Amino acid sequence: MKIARLFPLFLTALAATAEIPARPEHLTFPELQFDPPAAAQFRVELQTGPVAYVVPDRELPLVNLSILVRCGKYLEPVGQEGLASLTGVLLFQGGTERLTASELEEQAAFLAAQFQTSVDATAGNVSLNLLSKDLDEGFGLLREILARPRFQEDKLKLRKDQMFQEMRQRNDETAAIEGRELGRLGLGERFWTNRDFTSNSLAAISREDLRAFHRRWFHPRNFVVAVSGDFERDAMIARLEKLFADWPFPGETPPPIPANPEFAAPGVYLVHKDVNQGRVAVLLPGLMRDDPDHLAAVVMNDILGGGGFTSRIMNRVRTEEGLAYSAGSSLQGGTYFPTPLIASLQTKSGTVPYAIALVLEEMKRMAGEPVTEDELVGTVAGMIERFPRAFASKAQVAALFAQEEFTGRFARDPGYYPNYRARLRAITREDVQRVARRLLHPDRAAVLVVGHRDDILRGHPNHAERLHSVATGPVTELALRDPFTLEPLAPPRPIAPAQKN
């Protein structure tokens, strides 16, 4: 009897097993059905000036709010580098006209409210996360932070002291040295993004300078708002109107962001640092995010080096040659000015020239022959699969659409997200090769190397490649920069090829 009862179950299990493919790659899955939300359904033009993206979400009793501000480092007067950053940090940390810094911190802690304020290269950001039951008190504090900051003198001094300590460490790590020189090679020595704070510029900044910077740019006309969480839409719109009403100063409209970068001359640029590994970055001129070729270029870069372990650079440099733990490339596309394509890796000093040669070979191969159908299909499928993650939460939806509004892409291309997957699917192997031919010119590469000069120049006995043979242009030694002035400690020095015995 027991066998009789189990026999139907056995037949069912056998039938199910018969439907399982023999190999994992034969598995099939239903196509993911996902339609991105429409930005227009959340967009509100407030009467007080800002555009807001208002996205209710009743799942948790929380509210997330972020205000993007049209200001940034590019508005700093020459000689006052660091002013934008100081203003951003001290909006909250420096108290308000009514509350000292410690009192403001105590009130925020009492509400379990998290305030974060900053100003970076092209935007300010003021954010608030708190329980929905505390919206009145939280928005009251937010109004004070936005409209009437104190910029408390002792907090200004403390932050300057912290920045001074940061300056001391500027040459300690090769990653910091590399990042600093990358900006200069990719955009130009005097491009505004490379004007970082110095000891003299910090000394030239006063509390009144912070107040003036704030009063010029922190006005609701310059705000874009993202808010999501536990609220009724109309009630939140009314709260936002109240938050920005009757602003105490007129503010100004900021000028356009300067967009005149200059890419470095081809060659190898070597910065000496006494370490046993070399950092390598191969730079090529890039493109704008709004360029018609941008999406095809992103696909190309994913296959070249942006796709992790499936990418060509990673496979060649790490998997086949074992030269580096990580190797790859990035191509973001500039929002306000073209930003470079960068292939990067770390490897032992002696194998730096050989690793550079491998990266340049992969670039030549990408431009010289079409990618395989499997590479294209896999990359496009992966990008389509990842697409819904950008909209995974209501907070992400609000923040994404606010960012699109802030940078202007929503106005220029409102169909970007609705059409994203169709545009991806339309990219062909020929498109990928065309943009590779446009962008991947190894003879135009500026190669930055940070590491032990003599060991890198010596190369490796098992490989014939040397720095002078791997790239077009001369090899130039760049000196470290004075950490307090950011001026080079010595002028650039050409390095002659080693004489053969």
pLDDT one-digit tens code per residue, 86-140: 999 999 999 999 999 999 999 999 999 999 999 999 999 999 999 999 999 999 9
The per-residue pLDDT for range 129-143, each reduced to its tens digit, is 999 999 999 999 999
Distance CA 305, CA 359 (A): 9
Distance CA 175, CA 158 (A): 26
Give the residue from 244, 278, 295 where a domain finishes: 244
pLDDT at 8 over 90: no
State whether 348 and 216 are in the same domain: no
Indicate whether 2 belongs to any domain: no
Q: What angle do CA 271, 175, 332 make, to 5 degrees?
A: 105
Mean pLDDT of 6-20: 54
Kindly tell me the number of DSSP H helices and DSSP E strands found in the chain: 19, 13
Q: Which two tokens stand for residue 260?
A: 């005149």
Mean pLDDT of 329-339: 96
pLDDT of residue 19: 62
CA atoms within a 13 Å half-sphere pointing along the CA-CB vector of 487: 6
Q: Which two tokens stand for residue 126?
A: 């003021």
pLDDT at 13 over 80: no
| pLDDT band (50, 70, 90) for residue 20 | low
pLDDT of residue 137: 98
State whether 305 and 193 are in the same domain: no
Nearest to 69 by CA among 82, 56, 93, 87: 87
- With a pLDDT cut of 70, the percent of the chain lying above it is 93
Burial of 229 (0-12, 13-18, 19+ CB in 10 A): buried
Mean pLDDT of 452-479: 96
pLDDT of residue 460: 97
State whether 221 and 272 are in the same domain: no
- Coil, helix or strand at residue 171: coil
Count structural domains, the chain. 2
Mean pLDDT of 30-56: 92
Residue with tokens 């002291």: 161
DSSP 166-191: HHHTTTT-HHHHHHHHHHHHHH-TTS
Q: Which two tokens stand for residue 379?
A: 């990359």
- Coil, helix or strand at residue 116: strand
The per-residue pLDDT for range 136-192, each reduced to its tens digit, is 999 999 999 999 999 999 999 999 999 999 999 999 999 999 999 999 999 999 999
State whether 406 and 284 are in the same domain: yes
Indicate whether 28 belongs to any domain: no
* Helix (H) or strand (E) segment spanning residue 45: strand 43-45
How many residues are recorded in the chain? 501
Indicate whether 428 belongs to any domain: yes
- Coil, helix or strand at residue 64: strand
Indicate whether 110 belongs to any domain: yes
The total of other beta-carbon atoms located within 10 Å of residue 315's CB is 16
The per-residue pLDDT for range 270-279, each reduced to its tens digit, is 999 999 999 9
Range of the domain at 375: 267-495
Indicate whether 61 belongs to any domain: yes
Is the separation of the CB atoms in 49 and 224 below 8 Å?
A: no
Mean pLDDT of 320-343: 96
Indicate whether 19 belongs to any domain: no
Residues 6+ apart with CB under 8 A from 341: 283, 284, 285, 286, 301, 329, 330, 331, 439, 440
H helix intervals, 94-198: 101-110, 135-147, 153-168, 174-187
State whether 221 and 329 are in the same domain: no
Indicate whether 500 belongs to any domain: no
Indicate whether 275 belongs to any domain: yes
Average pLDDT of the chain to the nearest whole number: 95
State whether 85 and 207 are in the same domain: yes
State whether 183 and 326 are in the same domain: no
Mean pLDDT of 209-229: 99
- Coil, helix or strand at residue 112: coil
Distance CA 9, CA 7 (A): 5
Distance CA 206, CA 225 (A): 30
In the chain, the amino acid numbered 443 is D
State whether 68 and 123 are in the same domain: yes
Is the separation of the CB atoms in 280 and 349 below 8 Å?
A: no
pLDDT at 425 over 70: yes
* Helix (H) or strand (E) segment spanning residue 285: strand 277-287
State whether 215 and 307 are in the same domain: no
pLDDT at 55 over 90: yes
* Helix (H) or strand (E) segment spanning residue 233: helix 233-244
| pLDDT band (50, 70, 90) for residue 14 | very low
The per-residue pLDDT for range 349-370, each reduced to its tens digit, is 999 999 999 999 999 999 999 9
CATH at 411 = 3.30.830.10
State whether 180 and 289 are in the same domain: no
pLDDT of residue 471: 84
H helix intervals, 281-418: 294-301, 312-314, 352-368, 373-386, 394-407, 409-412
pLDDT at 499 over 80: no
pLDDT of residue 210: 99
Is the separation of the CB atoms in 470 and 280 below 8 Å?
A: no
Residues 6+ apart with CB under 8 A from 399: 66, 226
Sign of CA dihedral 416, 418, 420, 424: negative
Mean pLDDT of 415-421: 96
State whether 223 and 311 are in the same domain: no
- Coil, helix or strand at residue 158: helix
State whether 186 and 295 are in the same domain: no
Q: Which two tokens stand for residue 360?
A: 């340049």
DSSP state for residue 206 in the 8-state scheme? -
